Every structure is written in C-alpha cells, then in structure tokens.
A and B are shown apart, each in its own frame.
Chain A
Amino acid sequence: MEELSRRKFLGQISCAGISATPVISTLLNLGMTNSVAAAGPSADDYKALVCIFLSGGNDSFNMLVPNSNSEYRDYSETRSNLAIPRSELLKLDGSASSRQFGLHPGMPELSSLFQQGNAAFVANVGTLIEPTTLQDFERQSVRLPQGLFSHSDQIMHWQTGIPDAPSATGWAGRVSDLLHAVNDNDKVSMNVSLAGTNMFQTGRQTFSYEISPELGGSVTPVIHEDEVGLVGRIARTNVKNMMDATYQNLFQQAYADSVNQAVDAGREFADALEPVRIRTEFSHSQLSEALQLVARTIAARESLGMKRQTFFVLMDGYDHHDELLESHSEMMQVLSRALSEFDRAMQELQVHDQVTTFTSSDFARTLTSNGRGSDHAWGGNQIVMGGAVRGGLIYGEYPELAVGSKLDTGRGRLIPTLSTDQYFAELARWFGIDDSDLGEIFPNLDRFHNLGSGAPVGFMKA
C-alpha cells in the first residue's frame, strides 16, 4: 500500500497538468464497503485494543522460559549467567502443550491470568518481510527487514507493520482510517495515546488524541481555569471570539474550527471522565497509572460516543545491556502487577471480553550474555490478555534455545517463526477489520497467511 501511494504521489506531480487533487485513500473506499463502517455496529458493540510497548527490547526469553529437562538445560547453558534458576520459575500449568514452560518469578499475577485463561503468549514473533530460514538469512536470498537489531528501525516496524520500507502510517492508524466512522464523535480521536504522538496510531486521516496521567487526562485550556490571572481571563473571551468569527480564507476558517473543536474535545473528555469511579486499585508505577487512565477512558466510552478505541501505552527501560537480572526483574514485576490490575478493572467495568491488551517490543535480546546483560536480537515472546483471548496457551513455535539452533543467526539472535503481520492481523480481525481489507493494512501478510482462510494465529476467540 505504501508503495502504491508513493508511486501515486510521484506520478501525480510528474504530470505537467498538475492539480492539487489529493490521493483518495483506497482504504477509505474499501472501508465504506467492507469493514464494519458499512453495516454499523450494534448499540452495545464496543471494542478496544490496548498496546503496551515495551521499549528498548524486552528480554522475553527470560520472561517465558522452557521448563522441560532438556530444554531448560539448553536455556541454562546458552544464557549462562543470565539464566533464571529453574527452582524460581513459576510453572505454567495447563498450557495444553506437550512442552513445559515457566514464567519469570516476578510475574505471579500474569501466571494466574494465564491459568485462568485470561492471558496467552505468542512465541518468537518478529519483523519479517517473507518467510525466512537460516539459509535464506545467510545467503540473503530473501528480503530482510530494514535496520535489523536497531532500536529506531525496529520500533518503527513494530508500529507500522511495514518492515520493508519507510511508512508514513502505523497499523492502528490504517485500521482506524477504516473504522473511525463507527464512532459518534468527530472531536476526540478513537486513537488515544498515553505516550505522545506515535507512528502506531497515525493514519492517513486519523491521528492520536494524547492524554496523560500527569494532566489527569486530557489537555484543557489553562485560560479556562477559574484561578487563571487577569491576562488569561480576558484572553478566554477574546480567543473564543476570534475562533467564532467567520473567515473568508479556508485555512483560517479551518484553523478557527479546529481550535473550537480541540477546546471542546478537551472539555468533553474531561467531563466524560470526571464522574468515572473505578474501585479496582492500581499501583503507583507509571505503567499502572497509565493503564488506570486507559480504564477510566474506557469507562467513559458511552459519554465519549466510542465504539472502537485503540490505546498506546509505553513502558520504557528494557534496553538491558547490563544489570539485566536485577532491573529486568523489577520491570517484570511492574508489568505483571499492572496487567492484573487492568484485567480486574476490565472485569469491574464489564468489558472484559471487549478489551484486548497486547505487548509489542523492539526485539528480544541475544540469548548469550555479554557478561552483564544481553544485546539487541530479533524474534521474541509477547503477551496477549483479555476475555476474548483464548488464554492459557502459548501460540506460535517456541524456539529451541541451544546455541547454533536452526534459527540462530549468531549469539542467539533468533529468526522469528511468526511475523508481526500475523500477530497484528489476528488483533485487527477481532477488532472488526474484514478479511478482504487485511491485505491493505498488512501488505506482506499474504506471504505468511492465506487471506480469507480464517484466523492468522488463532489466539483470539471467533
């Protein structure tokens, strides 16, 4: 799709009789005919996708650890001083697999969520352009994602879903280009970010609405506050007058309208959240506070007129080149606790089946130790959580962790056995994207998944 629009653009301005006609998004047209925009969801239809981006590259082979005798031995030998003692691992019973797994000892809450069937893992998922074997990698006989092992590139690919080219849109942005029309609110975007502007939620026609726990939610104009001084108080009336004036110039008029809408949006958002009370207690970590605000926003969905929402939450600090065991352990605890708090809040709000939370991360880390920590790698394990998740299972192929395995490109940088496209498409499909639109949103998906053949991975219920 990206290729298409770039070509369209270049072609367009190469033409002598240029007009400023914008490229009409094929996505939008498709959206009107195929995905839920056409039929319109029923009144109680609500779905949210919550992305928790574990920034820096989560060492996820220490989060989800193989636990059979032989596989643990491989793990332990490969990871050497980074290996978690087997006795400390939390056993994941009932994973319905012949293989046994253990969870990081700092994640008892996630362990319970898994046992209860509310959470699952997706194993060894990563950026790929086409199916790739070790031989393909070494001979470079297939195309590989740009900037492998680099934070900035991989973070971008995990957000755009297009690892073979620079992209101006993210996959949630493209999803929302198709779905935003179902929401009864043209002021507040369906994409809510708790981490500033981001590529993930940038579409061609949609963008993110940013909120933060520090602001207690949305940005509202300081000049509207009661205690503002003389200047602010006089400015309040006159800014409003300027924005209410009629402008002959389209840009001035559009700007004035945008300001009025933005001010209204901030107030509407704040008003919608104000009466929300959630009994579930949240910890005081940044992540828990962010997820608490997500929960409050979801609780206000009806006053906000939202039927589809995406949320972007960032948890930073995973780049454990050193002090891996200590620091990573603390972060796993924070993550586990925050996930369970959020899960409880979704139960309390009775939207447990309607909200799916998933993790993303730049990459996993080298299986071998650099002495104190681990370095940038590739495929890794992710968490999905929610009532619509077929929990208690590990999806995809959990890889062999012995040095020199058939996926090892060196130092335990493992080639992913599941593409991010498959992982994301499963989520997008549940969210309401029609099978026939998936290929537009994930241009490489058809190399991994027969479009229209059902669920790309299978971790979401129907």
Chain B
Amino acid sequence: MKAQTPGYRIFRIANAILLTGVVVVTLFPFVNVVARSLSQARYVRAGKVVLWPEGFNLLAYRQILHASWFWTGYRNSVMYTVLGTAIAMVLTTCYAYVLSKKHLRGRRFLVAAAVVTMFFDGGIIPNYVLVSHLGLRNTVWSVVLPDAINVFNLLVMKAYFETIPVELEEAAAVDGMSTYRVLWSIVLPLSKAVIATIALFYATAYWNAWFDALLYLDRQELFPVTLYLRDLTNGAPPTIVAMATVVTALPLLVIAPLSQRFLVSGLRLGAIKG
C-alpha cells in the first residue's frame, strides 16, 4: 500500500474538520426544532431550549395529531407532490430526450426557449394573470402545472441522455421499435440514476412549495401543509410550530436516505463526459 505523504495527511485532517463542521451546521437547526417541539412553551419563549428538550412533554404532538386541518393539508401536499412529480417527470423526460438529439432541426431554438425562462421570469403578476385566465385558480393544477418543467433539471437530464450511445437506439430502430418505444424500453432503463435524482428534486420542490398555493388558492380545503405551516408562524405557540415543522419534514427525511444510492450517482452526472 502506498504511504501517505504528510501533505495528504494534512489535507485529510482538514477535510474531516471541514465536513464535521458542515454536518454540525446542517444538523443543528433540525435537532433544535425537534427539541423545541418536545419542550414546554415557556422554556422555548425564554430561549432556553437549544439541543435538549426542557420541560419534556408531548402536548404539541397530541394537538397536531387531532388537528384535522393539518391532516387535510398533509393529504393535499401528498397529492400535489405525487401528481406534480409524475407530470413534471413525463414532461421533462420527453423534452430532454428531444433536446438530446443533435440532428433535430430547431434544436437550438428549443434549448434557447427553455434556457431563457431560467434567467428571465415573467414575474408574479403576469403569472397570476396567466393562471387566472386559464381558469386554473382554486384548482389542483394551479399548484402543479406552473413549475412542471424546471430548466436546470431539464438540462441535467439532457446532458445524461446525450451520453447514451446512439448505436443502442439505432440497433433498436432496426428491430422495428418506435421512438417512444426506444425511449421507454432503452433510454429510461439506462437512465435510472438521473430519473431518481430529478424525481427527488421535483418531489422536494413540490413538497416544500407554498408560494404558488398562496397566490392561486383561496379555498382552505386545497391548501398544502406548508401553507398551514406558514400561517402557524403568525401567532401559534412555538412548540406547535416546531412540531408541525418536524411532521412536515418527515416524508423527505424518510425518502432521502432511501434514494441516496441513486442520488450519489446522479450527482456525478456531467462530471465525466465521453
């Protein structure tokens, strides 16, 4: 085994210190919120809760478990996340696959049409007018459709599709497969890593989204849980807010480790080309 040079050893130690710092900074807010959710409100208001609950009690949990509005929002969030992610994945995958074809006429225009929206947004009022005129206000679609194609995700997926050897698709075309069949049976199975990564990005974005709902939804029965959470921050007891935050973050905390394998390989996308 090759001996480690002193410089490399120093690098590793510095690396470990830096990454430990990152872990602490990342974990601290979450541990703090959990501790607040299990503490008595007076200790939280007094700022005495840091990493460990003070005056341990489960009152906040009991209140949240019995709050029907919270679970309605939770159900809505799940629906928006599942539906939005499914639609976004279909649209993004199809668009990215089309853009990955170098011989496509008008490809540069299609890429530009997508990239321009990444830098120049229409703005809140034009978007509101558009959604209203399309008759989407106070419907599920006003939350799901406006962010259905994220250009960053689109470009990541396009870059990945471009790395798939064209010979594989050509051999399939000789076998009589249609373009959609090639996409479904060859390109998608070879792109599991990027699909899982992008799906996770979309799911996280939809789960955390509240601003579109605030703009376009008036009916409370359609509110996502994040909107309730936002309303809670205006005057609700701090333990309830902390508790609602923990329960809201729970699904993502469960999904993230499960998709870690795909996420790691997905994050390497574009690092090596050819």
**Do A and B interact?**
no
Using a CB–CB distance below 8 Å, which chain B residues touch chain A? Answer: none
